[in-house]
């Protein structure tokens, strides 16, 4: 996979440091820039951070909205391989933290033995995760309602974003998050996850038993419509068979926007606390 010049700069910076690297993985309808507050928080604790994009991601929200076609057609395997290439260029195994489809990709990377420890926040489901709550279907209906969207990039309306992301914050904050962060997202990953249990060879699969998976925390937002507790908990039960430590925590009163809204520090504290508990420090 092609590593961009900007990603190479971050790789070189991480390799020149003695600090533990953290690789952040964004999900659908967001860009890598959405991790900036998290990166600042992690770096203040002494970690070195990287936030690669999905292949061909534009750098800015304005560019992504102006040229949505560049975002179309990305699938779970290709995105995972891109992050694996970045991690393979690091001198030390990183912590991997991902949100939504980034949480699924985080688990796939951990399932290849590429992560020292992992945090999957409201992770999209993988093969073997059976619950399919009505709210999850409604949240993804903007894409799944039209089979042609499999090859397209789809922009949520502000109303759709409010239901899928911003339901647990005020209407004003949801509107602000939409304007600041929301971009078109490729439809293909949603179709892959939705049909994962029908296709043994699906890209939306995770090796939950890899002997070098490392500690894994799954974080669930109590009020998440897109990835409700039933999905997160089913993912946890699959992962809990691994010999490494596996934990799940629910963040009270939070929706799918929990990594970008005003309450993100509470989620970050939970993630960094899990790392500390399992001996993963900045140096």
Q: What pLDDT, in 10s, does the model give residues 112-158? A: 999 999 999 999 999 999 999 999 999 999 999 999 999 999 999 99
* Residue 282 within a domain: no
Determine the Cα–Cα distance for residues 120 and 216; give it in Å rounded to an integer.
Answer: 8
Count how many domains the chain has: 1
Report residue 43's pLDDT band, with 50, 70 and 90 as the boundaries.
Answer: very high
Query: Do the domain assignments include residue 283?
Result: no
Q: Which helix (H) or strand (E) holds 186?
A: strand 185-186
pLDDT band at 205 (very low <50, low <70, confident <90, very high): very high
Is position 39 within any domain? yes
Calpha distance 71→53 (Å, rounded): 11
Report the first-to-last Cα separation within the chain, whole angstroms. Answer: 29
Report the pLDDT value the prediction gives residue 186, as an integer from 0 to 100: 98
Q: Where residue 187 sits, what CATH number does that domain have?
A: 3.40.50.1820
Alpha helices in the chain, H assignment, sequence order: 5-15, 36-44, 61-66, 76-88, 101-110, 134-144, 158-164, 171-181, 188-194, 229-239, 264-277
Q: What is the pLDDT of residues 44-67, one digit of tens each?
A: 999 999 999 999 999 999 999 999
116 belongs to a structural domain: yes
Predicted local confidence at residue 269, as pLDDT: 98
Q: Of 248, 223, 235, 254, which Cα lies nearest the Cα of 136?
A: 223
pLDDT confidence bin for 1, thresholds 50/70/90: low
Give backbone dihedrals phi and psi of 88, rounded to 5 degrees, phi first.
-65, -15
Residue 138 lies inside a defined structural domain of this protein: yes
Distance (Å, rounded) from C-alpha 13 to C-alpha 26? 20
Whether residue 21 lies inside any domain: the answer is yes
- Residue-number span of the structural domain to which 51 is assigned: 5-277
Q: Is the residue at 222 inside a domain?
A: yes
Rounded to the nearest 5 degrees, what angle is found at the Cα of 85, between the Cα atoms of 11 and 272? 60
Examine residue 103 and state whether it is found in any structural domain, yes or no. Answer: yes
Q: What is the pTM of this model?
A: 0.98
Q: What is the rounded radius of gyration, in angstroms, for the C-alpha atoms of the chain?
A: 17
């Amino acid at each position: 996979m092609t590593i961009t010049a900007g990603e190479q700069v971050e790789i070189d910076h991480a390799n020149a440091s003695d600090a533990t690297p953290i690789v952040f993985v964004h999900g659908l309808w967001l860009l890598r820039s959405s991790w900036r507050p998290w990166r600042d928080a992690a770096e203040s604790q002494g970690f070195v951070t990287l936030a690669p994009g999905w292949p061909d991601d534009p750098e800015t929200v304005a560019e992504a909205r102006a040229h949505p076609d560049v975002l179309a057609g990305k699938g779970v395997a290709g995105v995972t391989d891109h992050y694996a290439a970045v991690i393979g260029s690091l001198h030390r195994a990183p912590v991997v933290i991902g949100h939504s489809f980034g949480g699924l990709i985080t688990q796939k990377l951990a399932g290849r033995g590429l992560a020292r420890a992992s945090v999957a926040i409201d992770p999209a489901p993988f093969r073997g995760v059976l619950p399919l709550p009505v709210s999850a279907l409604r949240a993804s209906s903007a894409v799944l309602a039209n089979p042609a969207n499999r090859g397209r990039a789809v922009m949520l309306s502000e109303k759709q974003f409010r239901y899928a992301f911003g339901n647990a914050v005020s209407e004003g904050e949801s509107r602000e998050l939409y304007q600041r962060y929301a971009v078109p997202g490729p439809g293909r990953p949603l179709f892959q996850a939705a049909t994962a249990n029908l296709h043994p060879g699906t890209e939306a699969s995770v090796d939950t038993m890899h002997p070098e998976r490392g500690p894994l925390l799954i974080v669930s937002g109590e009020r998440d419509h897109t990835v409700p507790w039933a999905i997160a908990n089913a993912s946890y039960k699959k992962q809990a068979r691994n010999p490494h430590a596996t934990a799940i925590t629910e963040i009270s009163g939070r929706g799918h926007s929990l990594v970008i809204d005003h309450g993100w520090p509470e989620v970050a504290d939970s993630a960094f606390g899990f790392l500390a508990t399992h001996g993963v420090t900045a140096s």
